[in-house]
Amino acid sequence: MDRITRVRKKMQQASLDAVLFYKPENLFYLSGFTGTTGYVLITPSDKYFLTDFRYFSQVKEQAPEFELVPLDYAHPVRSRIEELTRGILGFEEEHMIVEMYDELKETYEGELQPMRRFIEELRMMKDEQELITMQKAQDIADETYMEILEIVSAGMTEEDLAQEIYLRMRRKGASRNSFETIVASGVRGALPHGVASGKVMQRGELVTIDFGCVYEGYCSDMTRTFALGRADDHQREIYNIVLEAQLAAMEVIKPGVSTQVVDKTARDIIAGYGYAENFGHGLGHAVGLEIHENPRFSPLCDVPLKVGMVMTNEPGIYIDDFGGVRIEDTVVVTEDGYRNLTHSPKELIEV
Ligand SMILES: [Mn+2]
């Protein structure tokens, strides 16, 4: 079933006469449009792409099967909607700003119906083509990691390393970073989201790098922790606990298993070694057109895994004045378990 057909089926189930989308990732998902500004309006019989002068030729090229509806000062989106549809109009409640809602409410003759995660629910299960693209995005990150291990050295700053990562991913075809690269060395490793700073990396430190790229719209995400020089016993001990937790969580991933159970599997292992307080974030998240999607591997999220979901598995231990370790892979849920998109080695590497 194509995406528009699935949207219409959901519309019917929700008794909607039309649905309006504007979140850029959802426009891309429905139409292939890669620009940032526009609206997709779907009715049982028609599909429209509403946008302004800047994007006319882009819509004709990327979304030729949509009817282009021009927006301009005389024809703002609210008046176009009025012309194109009537009845119950669904809109993306998480993404519509209050100003636009107020305007629509004032002018729209029919009823406005908020919808939650309408497209995001469809996006949770990736199809074959999406998985091919996501594998490529991950391959770019993996290749970059292997190169980084060759060039990293004590004396470089975290920012130097982040720039090397960025340039290498771009040269391999990525359009941008999927989020701001984290390079957290030494004591900064205790910051789960320690974006690269001007700190000089030194021998004897653990370095955690968490990065990914966007390739043809899709994000990759991976984390590795390595040692500059020889790791000491404490560093090695922490590393091995995180690795044990990550591998154990991996083994429970399969269709039907609750996301909560996967989180708990890793969390129990870390807690068993006495580090419960040092793992203060969820085990992972779905990833796709956005870097953080639903569902989550978290104590707060109870969703049964389904074939085609793409999830990260990223336990960590963070200790003030010591540093931290995190290991993150991205996997796709398959009929009989999971397939790991991340291929970089996971044993503790000393460079
Ligand atoms: Mn992640």
- Domain spans, the chain: 3-123, 128-340
Cα 36 to middle of ligand 1, angstroms: 24
Cα 239 to middle of ligand 1, angstroms: 18
Structural contact between residues 20 and 81, judged by C-beta atoms closer than 8 angstroms: yes
Distance CA 267, CA 281 (A): 10
pTM: predicted TM-score of the whole model, two decimal places:
0.95
The pLDDT of 219-232, averaged and rounded, is 98
Residues within 5 Å of ion ligand 1 by Cβ? Answer: 221, 312
Cα 284 to middle of ligand 1, angstroms: 6
Cα 255 to middle of ligand 1, angstroms: 21
Cα 297 to middle of ligand 1, angstroms: 11
Which CATH number does 128-340 carry?
3.90.230.10
The pLDDT of 140-155, averaged and rounded, is 98
The pLDDT of 213-231, averaged and rounded, is 98
Q: Is the pLDDT of residue 1 over 90?
A: no
Cα 83 to middle of ligand 1, angstroms: 43
Confidence of residue 269 (pLDDT cuts 50, 70, 90): very high
By 3-state DSSP, what share of the chain in percent is helix, strand and coil, each rounded to 5?
40, 25, 35
Confidence of residue 290 (pLDDT cuts 50, 70, 90): very high
Cα 61 to middle of ligand 1, angstroms: 33
Q: Say if residue 295 is preceded by a cis peptide, omega within 30 of 0.
A: yes
Cα 84 to middle of ligand 1, angstroms: 41
Structure tokens at 241: 């606990």
Burial class (CB in 10 A: 0-12, 13-18, 19+), 269: buried
Alpha helix stretches (DSSP H) within the chain: 3-13, 24-31, 56-62, 77-84, 98-107, 118-123, 128-151, 158-171, 233-252, 259-272
The pLDDT of 80-87, averaged and rounded, is 95
Number of H helices and number of E strands within the chain? 10, 19
Instruction: Kindly report, residue by residue over 96-135, the tens digit of the pLDDT.
Output: 999 999 999 999 999 999 999 999 999 999 999 999 999 9
Which CATH number does 3-123 carry?
3.40.350.10
The pLDDT of 145-157, averaged and rounded, is 98
Structure tokens at 172: 């391999």
Cα 196 to middle of ligand 1, angstroms: 16
The pLDDT of 38-67, averaged and rounded, is 97
Q: What's the pLDDT score for residue 66?
A: 98
Q: What's the pLDDT score for residue 95?
A: 94
Distance CA 273, CA 262 (A): 18
